[in-house]
Amino acid sequence: MPFIEIPGIQGRVYVPEEKEGAVKKHDCEDCYSCQMCGDGRCAQCLKEKFRGRQQKEKPEH
């Protein structure tokens, strides 16, 4: 179902369905339609995702 309800958000949100066998440059969870971005743009996106993941994984002292 492409429209879902998310608690705290009024209305419904569109979530496209993934196509089986669709080729992706990287296996990004939030990518539903890879446009084969250039390496510079792709690297920037991956860097931001990696940075966010590192901050979540940092042990607190």
Per the structure, the complete domain to which residue 52 belongs is given by 3-56
Quick check: is 49 in a domain?
yes
Q: What is the structure's pLDDT at 49?
A: 64
Q: What is the structure's pLDDT at 58?
A: 57
**What secondary structure does DSSP assign to 6-61, as a single string?**
-TTSSSEEE-PPPPTT---SS--TT-SS-----HHHHHHHHHHHHHHHHHHHPPP-
Quick check: is 33 in a domain?
yes
Q: What is the structure's pLDDT at 50?
A: 62
Quick check: is 12 in a domain?
yes
Q: What is the structure's pLDDT at 59?
A: 58
Q: What is the structure's pLDDT at 7?
A: 94
Q: How confident is the chain (61 residues) per 10-residue block, as mean pLDDT?
A: 88 81 73 75 72 57 53
Q: What is the count of structural domains for the chain?
A: 1
Quick check: is 61 in a domain?
no
Q: What is the structure's pLDDT at 55?
A: 54
